Every structure is written in C-alpha cells, then in structure tokens.
Chain A
Amino acid sequence: MGPAVLIWRLAVRDLRRRLTQSVLLLLVIAAATSTLALAFALDGTSNHPWSITRAATAGPDVMVETYPGTHPDLNQLDALAHAAGVIGTSGPYPMASPVLRTGKVTDPVFAEGRDETMPTIDRPNVTNGTWVRPGGVVIERGFADQLNVHMGSQVTLDHRPFRVVGIAVDTDRGANWRPQLVWVTRADAVQLAAQGDKLAYVLNLRLSDPPSAPAFASAHSSPRMFVATWQQIRSSDEKELTVVQIVLLLGTWLLGMLAIGSVAVLVGGRMIEQIRRAGLIKAAGGTPQFVAVVLLAENLFLALAATAIGLLVGYLVAPVLASPSLSLLGSANSPSLTAPKALIVVAVAVAVAIAATVFPALRAARSSTIGALNDPARPPRRHGTMIALSARLPVALVLGLLLAVRRPRRAILTTVSLLITDVMIVCALALHSSFASSRSTDVMVSQPGLGQPLLARVDSVVLVVTVLLVVLATINTIFITQATVLDAQRPSALARAFGATPNQVSTGLTVAQLIPALLGGILSVPAGIFLYRIAARVAGGAPNASLPVPWMAAVIVGTVAVVAALTLFPARAGARRPVAVVLRSD
C-alpha cells in the first residue's frame, strides 16, 4: 500500500509541477493516437453507402451515353437494349448541357430529361419535394448543397427559368462520377438541347449477370458511345474515400514518426532533471526498479489519457470524413473502431510511454546515485577537427557550429522533425499543384467547376494533417531551442566572459538551430515529391508531381524563417543573463 501511494503521489505531483510539458506530451501522443484511430475508423467504411443507394435507386448495371450532337444515332442504343444478357432497360433519356445560374453562381450542368413517372431501372430517390414536372427541376442532392439551393428556389437553365421542385439521390450520377446533375422533363431537356444545339441520350441496362458488366461493356464499346459499368461508377465514387484514407495513412505515419521525435525531445529535454530526481529517490532508499515504475506511471498516465482523446477524436471525426457526401443515401458505417483496433491504439500509446521511460530509467539505473545527484549531465563530445576548422569563422558562426556539434543527436532530431513536417507540406503543395494543373485528372479531379467534392474533401484532410504536423514540429522546435539555450548557458557565459557580445551569443544559438532547419527544408523537397508520387500511384492516379521552383524555395526559406523566429526570443533572453549568475549557479 505504502509504495503504491508513493508512486501515485510522485507521478501526479511531478505531472502537476511541469504542467506545460505534461500537456504538450499529452497533445503529442494524442495527435498520433487520433490519426491512428481515424485511419482505423475509416478502414472499410466505403462500400456500404454506395451499395445502399444503388439498391434504393435500382441502379443500372450498365449505363450507355451517346456523345452530344445534333443527330444522335438511336439505333445503336436500340441494338444494345436487345443485346444478349440484357434483361431490362430504362431510357433512352435525352440529356442537354445547359448553364445553370442561381444568384451569383454559374455552372455548366447535365440536364437529363425524364418521364414524370419513375422507371423500374435507375429510379432517383427523391429525398425532398417531388419528381420532375414541366418547368420544374430536380437537383442532385450533393450538387444542390454546393449550389445552396433549396425546394422552391428559382434557377435558370440557359436563361430559361425553372423552379426547384425536388432534391434526389442517384448512384449512376454520384458525387464524383457526374456531380453537376439535374433532372427535368423530357420535353424541357429537348428544348434546352435545342437552345444549345446539343443533345445526348442515356440508356440504362439491367444484365442477367451483373458482375459480367465489364465484359459486356468491352464487347459493345463504340467510338460513338460511352459505356460505363456499375463497377466503374462505384470505383469513381469510392475514390474519394480511398484518397482520404491514403492521405490519412500517410499522415498517420508521418505524425507517428514526428510523435516519437517529439517524445524523444520532451523526454530528452527532461533527462537531466529526471536523472537527478532518480538519484534523490535512490538516495532515500528507492531501488532502480522503483524509479522505473515511477517514471512509467507518469508516462503511462499521459499515454492512456492521450489514447482516450485519440479514440474519442477517431469516433467523432471519422463519420464526418467517412461520409461520402450528400450524393449517397445512408451514412458511412459507424466508425469501425472495434475492440481490437482500439487495443492497437492503446498498445501504440503504451509503447510510446514505455519508450519514453526506458532511456531515463536505464540511465538512472546505470548512473551511481551520487553521480546522478551531483552531475547528471552527460559531458558533450569534443570535436577537435571541427574546432580547428572553425577558427577562421565569425564568432557567432563558431559558437553556433560548436553548439550544433556538441549535441549531434539533438541536431539530427531537429532536422528529422522539420523534415517530416516539410515533407507533408511539400505533399500538400504538390497536391494543390496537381489540382491546379489538372495533371492527374483520372483520380483527383473529375469535372471542372463547382462539383469537385473529392477535391474539397482531400484538401481538408490534407490541411488537418498538415496543421497537426506543423503544431507538433513547432512544439519540438520550441523544446529543442529551450534545451539548447539551457545547455548552452555555461559555454555562452564563458564565451561572454572572454569577450563575446550578447548579440554574438544569441546569433550563435540561432545559427545552431538554423543549420538543421536548412538541412531539413532542403531534404524535404525531393522527399516530399517522392512520397507524393508513391501515394498517387497507390491511389491509382498519374504520379505527375511537380512543384514550381518558387514554392520549393518558399518551403526552405519559410522553414528557416520560422525556426529563426522561434529561436530568437529564448536565445536573446538566454544570452542576456548576467555572466556571474550563470557561472555561479552552474
């Protein structure tokens, strides 16, 4: 009972005493567990909404569309309707391509002409209002949401007024397949086509063997028609989630790596303090195992709290990200955070806690009690060659180089931390560049104009992951800077005692941080483009990633500038402490 009370007391009091560090460590682990939970929650959520919608709308197995023209050939469509394997049809429906205007929004749309009664195949599910009638338009739900139009709204199609009489959902006109879809009566569609001088026809087919749709499509392909199978349409609509999942998975890996780096920074920054504390506990009769248990209890407490946050975020956010859009019925599966997946998240957090415990515990166990109490800092390595080489450099640069070389692992950690963050920023920029130039249209962009829900969704996920990475990298940089400033107090004070000015010392400290920042920034450009290409390939798209040179330069310069800004204040504060005070307190 006694030791348990003591462990609890020591752990809780220490966490409370270094509240900021504890909260930051909690956030770092929570960021990693959140993305992991999200990635797990999104895994396997994609099929059901599309299937539900297809069942509810009696979606066709094959959709055939003639190319717009003034004299479409309907004989070919008729031949297809009577082809072997076809057991039902609906259409052909005339389809015009007018321009829709509502308020300030102008967008080209596909206006499909329908009968006022619903067919047996491809029956759009009217979720609000009624089906088509003369002068009335029914708008696809996802598109209506983007246009911000409602029941009763007035729109124009090629300047002809229409009233919105219904909102509907349909699988063969899904969110990404053809997002800008409206339905009007046959007569209205033909009239609209006459105004625009272009008319296409759509025919929906039901096959006796739906899985054989691709074979049917290839057997009946024609340069004058576009033939799409239900598998193609599903694949197109599911690409959104696939890309989101890839981005999340990528983000999870990057965040995971950065979280480990952050934990190393936070734990490393506290190492001296922890070793002294371990010495104190050992001097009072604590065994090395007891010290390890106290350290573990602290980190475990944080890790479990972070896991709870991560699972909660995963549970709450996954449905938002997984929801394929308003274009499909139902919702994505409830986040599939099953017990085994939740256990994996817990295991990862516990592993982080153990990793955070092992090094200080081992050092505490290895160091003699009195050594830990008196001089817990490990002496830095001396690099004579570097010192000799730097003899001709300006004082500030020499001080910066010496500081960077004194703690090579810290410099590497800074480089890696910034590299990981910049890699994600480069990926995000490459994605934007790709969107802008529409190079990878087969995956990322289906249509120009308003109807690009996929782009918006991927964009927001990339933004979330990038922001998380930037926050973590900022925390890392602040802690590493603080640790460097603290560590450099004595050598800086000595340098000042021998004539260096506070400005030279603070510039030296800044230089020590800028070297890894520059390295991380430069390496991130090729690494980010490489990673983006892999991700695009996995997503099934064209891996054409290129980043304009000014953007590349902005990543590098931006990284260096941000690190300089984050370093300058603590460096200046550290360099202005009176020399005598620093040397006396050492």
Chain B
Amino acid sequence: MNAIGDAPALRARGLRKEYGREAALVRAVDDVDLEVIPGETVAVMGPSGCGKSTLLHLLGGLDRPTSGDLFFRDRRVDQLSERALAELRRREIGFVFQAFQLLDELTAQENVELPALMARSSPRQARRRARQLLEQVGLGERASHLPSALSGGQRQRVAIARALVNQPAIILADEPTGNLDSAATVEVLRLFGALHADGLTLVVVTHDERVAATSDRLISMRDGAFVEDTRMANTGGPDVQFLAGLDG
C-alpha cells in the first residue's frame, strides 16, 4: 500500500463519456480532470444521473472513455486491451459495488479467494489470505456461508475483503452503503476508516453524507462535470468521533 506524497495513484485528463448521437447525445462524463494521490480518500457526490458511477467505472477500466487520457501510476491505461485491463483490475484495483456482486454459488471464503486465484496465487496462499481478510472484516465465523445466508452488511464486507485480497493500490467503491441499513453502514464506514488509516487509496462514489464526512476530499458532480472539489478537515485519518457518534 502506498503512502501519501508519492506520484498520483490515478490521473484523468479531459475524460469524457458520451452515449447516443446528435440530438440524443448524452455526456455522462464531461471533460473531467482528476488527480488522486496515494493514500487519499476521495468521495464523489452528486444527484442521481450526474455521472459519478460512470466516472468510477471509467477510472477502474470497467468501461472505456469516449475521449481523454487516463493514467494509473503514470502508466496510460485508457487504450489498454480488454485483457490488459483485466490484469490491471486484478492486481492494482479493488472494486466494491452497491449490489455487492458476489458469485452466488461460491461461499464467502471462495468469493474472496477468486481474484487471488485468478492472479495465480497458489490455492493455499489464496485460502490463507482470504481467511485473514475475513477475520479482519469480522466474518471469520461465516467464511463457509453462501452469500444468500449473509446479511447485506456482511455481504458488503465480503465484497470489501474480496477487493483487498490482491493488495491493490486503490479501492474504487460505488455506493458501498447504498443497499445497507444504518448499522451495516457503520460497519462498512469503520472498515473504510481502517483502510484509510493503513494508507490505502480510496475513491468512493456516494449519496451518503456520512461516507463523505470520513473522506479527505469531497468532489461534487453535476451533469457529468465537477462543480466543486473540497479538501475536508479530517485529512490524515478517519473521523473517529464522527463514527463514534454514528454508533450512538
């Protein structure tokens, strides 16, 4: 994991994503410039349909931009092949989705092992790492459960453990608390706080102000463009008091 002060973990220049043509043209992401420095937690907020999820998908190589440049640690990635993008996602990027996106037929442990095995870790190493991460997110006892036997918060914690299994340079989270109740939201925020404290780079798309409140930087989006980019007061670590307040 990286420390604050290195070269940008992620850099986008003139990033644009368009759908449709002519009169029906929609610019989901419109000329976005962004730099995320290592160890930083960036929250992206905005109304529904403003393009924040699309931006996150572009940053993570899940979708291709119409134009613009995208660099991952000074390596241009927007023109990589599908295979190279897959390898980049596998080793350098961890994704957390609102709908968890776990494979229903695999247990929690096996879901976490999946990216590790894909990255050619040995089965034993993958098992050990997955077990360690599940313990870390408080699900050591439920490792052998299928996703259908877990609560929403537990599923999201499994998804976070899966995102971490290959020790990625950056975590991209799309509405990670969008499907969770308050208690589960707190669990996830605590986890993100701990990751932030460990120096992990996080970009979180959210509607939830509580999530934004724990970030170093808050970007507001409207109609596909950034309208505000604010450094938060709690730079340097999670707002422990805030989290404690949520507990109460």
Binding site for B on A (CB under 8 A): 1-3, 5-6, 9-10, 13-14, 16-17, 277, 280-290, 365, 368-371, 373
9 chain-A/chain-B pairs, Cβ below 8 angstroms = A5-B117, A9-B106, A13-B110, A17-B104, A283-B62, A284-B89, A284-B90, A290-B118, A365-B82
Q: Measured between alpha carbons, how far is A14 from B86 in the docked complex, in Å?
A: 22
Q: Quick check: A369 and B115 within 8 Å, CB to CB?
A: no
Q: Measured between alpha carbons, how far is A106 from B192 in the docked complex, in Å?
A: 92
B97 cross-chain contacts in A, Cβ below 8 A: 283, 373
Cβ-defined partner of A1 (8 Å) among B89, B91, B118, B123: B123
Q: Measured between alpha carbons, how far is A382 from B106 in the docked complex, in Å?
A: 38
Q: Quick check: B101 and A280 within 8 Å, CB to CB?
A: yes
Q: Measured between alpha carbons, how far is A456 from B166 in the docked complex, in Å?
A: 67
Q: Measured between alpha carbons, how far is A370 from B95 in the docked complex, in Å?
A: 12
6 further A-B contacts with Cβ under 8 Å, apart from A2-B122, A277-B103, are: A6-B118, A13-B103, A283-B97, A283-B101, A287-B83, A290-B118
CB within 8 Å for A3 and B117 given contacts A9-B106, A283-B62, A284-B162? yes
Q: Quick check: B106 and A13 within 8 Å, CB to CB?
A: yes
Cβ-defined partner of A2 (8 Å) among B57, B63, B121, B162: B121
The DSSP consensus for interface residues of chain A is: helix
Q: Measured between alpha carbons, how far is A212 from B126 in the docked complex, in Å?
A: 79
Q: Quick check: B126 and A17 within 8 Å, CB to CB?
A: no
Within 8 A of A (CB), among B75-116: 82-83, 86-87, 89-91, 95, 97, 101-106, 110, 113-116
Q: Measured between alpha carbons, how far is A3 from B115 in the docked complex, in Å?
A: 9
Q: Measured between alpha carbons, how far is A284 from B118 in the docked complex, in Å?
A: 9
A368 to chain B, nearest CB (A): 5
Q: Quick check: A6 and B62 within 8 Å, CB to CB?
A: no
Q: Does B210 contact A (CB under 8 A)?
A: no
Cβ-defined partner of B122 (8 Å) among A1, A10, A287, A369: A1
B87 cross-chain contacts in A, Cβ below 8 A: 285, 287
Q: Measured between alpha carbons, how far is A285 from B106 in the docked complex, in Å?
A: 17
Cβ-defined partner of A286 (8 Å) among B86, B120, B126: B86
A376 to chain B, nearest CB (A): 13
Q: Quick check: A369 and B118 within 8 Å, CB to CB?
A: no
B62 to chain A, nearest CB (A): 4
Q: Does B64 contact A (CB under 8 A)?
A: yes
A375 to chain B, nearest CB (A): 12
Q: Measured between alpha carbons, how far is A160 from B236 in the docked complex, in Å?
A: 116
Q: Measured between alpha carbons, how far is A371 from B62 in the docked complex, in Å?
A: 9
Q: Does B183 contact A (CB under 8 A)?
A: no
Q: Measured between alpha carbons, how far is A5 from B113 in the docked complex, in Å?
A: 11
A282 cross-chain contacts in B, Cβ below 8 A: 86, 89
Q: Measured between alpha carbons, how far is A281 from B89 in the docked complex, in Å?
A: 11
A6 cross-chain contacts in B, Cβ below 8 A: 113-114, 117-118
CB within 8 Å for A370 and B117 given contacts A283-B101, A365-B82? no
B13 to chain A, nearest CB (A): 21
Q: Which residue of A lies closest to B102 (CB)?
A: A280
Q: Measured between alpha carbons, how far is A164 from B122 in the docked complex, in Å?
A: 77
B223 to chain A, nearest CB (A): 20
A373 cross-chain contacts in B, Cβ below 8 A: 97, 101
B114 to chain A, nearest CB (A): 5
Q: Quick check: A287 and B86 within 8 Å, CB to CB?
A: yes
B34 to chain A, nearest CB (A): 18
Q: Quick check: B116 and A2 within 8 Å, CB to CB?
A: yes
CB within 8 Å for A2 and B119 given contacts A283-B95, A283-B101, A284-B114? yes
A287 to chain B, nearest CB (A): 4
A290 cross-chain contacts in B, Cβ below 8 A: 86, 118
Q: Measured between alpha carbons, how far is A224 from B115 in the docked complex, in Å?
A: 89
Among A6, A14, A290, the most chain B Cβ lie within 10 Å of the Cβ of A6
Among B86, B91, B115, the most chain A Cβ lie within 10 Å of the Cβ of B86
Q: Quick check: A14 and B122 within 8 Å, CB to CB?
A: no
Q: Quick check: A2 and B118 within 8 Å, CB to CB?
A: yes
A281 cross-chain contacts in B, Cβ below 8 A: 103, 114
Q: Which residue of A lies closest to B126 (CB)?
A: A2
A3 cross-chain contacts in B, Cβ below 8 A: 117-118, 120
B113 cross-chain contacts in A, Cβ below 8 A: 6
B104 cross-chain contacts in A, Cβ below 8 A: 17
Q: Measured between alpha carbons, how far is A1 from B166 in the docked complex, in Å?
A: 16
CB within 8 Å for A286 and B118 given contacts A9-B106, A13-B106, A370-B57? yes
Q: Quick check: B63 and A369 within 8 Å, CB to CB?
A: yes
A284 cross-chain contacts in B, Cβ below 8 A: 89-90, 95, 114-115, 118, 162
Q: Which residue of A lies closest to B56 (CB)?
A: A370
Q: Measured between alpha carbons, how far is A283 from B126 in the docked complex, in Å?
A: 18
CB within 8 Å for A288 and B83 given contacts A369-B62, A369-B63? yes
Q: Measured between alpha carbons, how far is A160 from B219 in the docked complex, in Å?
A: 111
Among A9, A371, A373, the most chain B Cβ lie within 10 Å of the Cβ of A9
Among B57, B106, B117, B123, the most chain A Cβ lie within 10 Å of the Cβ of B117
B89 cross-chain contacts in A, Cβ below 8 A: 282-285
Q: Measured between alpha carbons, how far is A10 from B103 in the docked complex, in Å?
A: 9
Q: Measured between alpha carbons, how far is A290 from B97 in the docked complex, in Å?
A: 22
Q: Measured between alpha carbons, how far is A95 from B83 in the docked complex, in Å?
A: 84
B225 to chain A, nearest CB (A): 20
Q: Measured between alpha carbons, how far is A468 from B66 in the docked complex, in Å?
A: 52
Closest 8 CB pairs of A and B: A285-B90, A13-B105, A2-B117, A6-B117, A287-B86, A17-B105, A370-B62, A369-B62
Q: Measured between alpha carbons, how far is A368 from B63 in the docked complex, in Å?
A: 6
A280 cross-chain contacts in B, Cβ below 8 A: 101-103
B131 to chain A, nearest CB (A): 16
B145 to chain A, nearest CB (A): 14
Q: Which residue of A lies closest to B168 (CB)?
A: A285
B114 cross-chain contacts in A, Cβ below 8 A: 6, 281, 284
Among A14, A17, A283, the most chain B Cβ lie within 10 Å of the Cβ of A283
Q: Measured between alpha carbons, how far is A284 from B126 in the docked complex, in Å?
A: 14
A577 to chain B, nearest CB (A): 20
Q: Which residue of B lies closest to A14 (CB)?
A: B105
Q: Which residue of A lies closest to B166 (CB)?
A: A285
Q: Which residue of B lies closest to A15 (CB)?
A: B105
A365 cross-chain contacts in B, Cβ below 8 A: 82
B117 cross-chain contacts in A, Cβ below 8 A: 2-3, 5-6
A369 to chain B, nearest CB (A): 4
Q: Which residue of B lies closest to A285 (CB)?
A: B90
A360 to chain B, nearest CB (A): 16
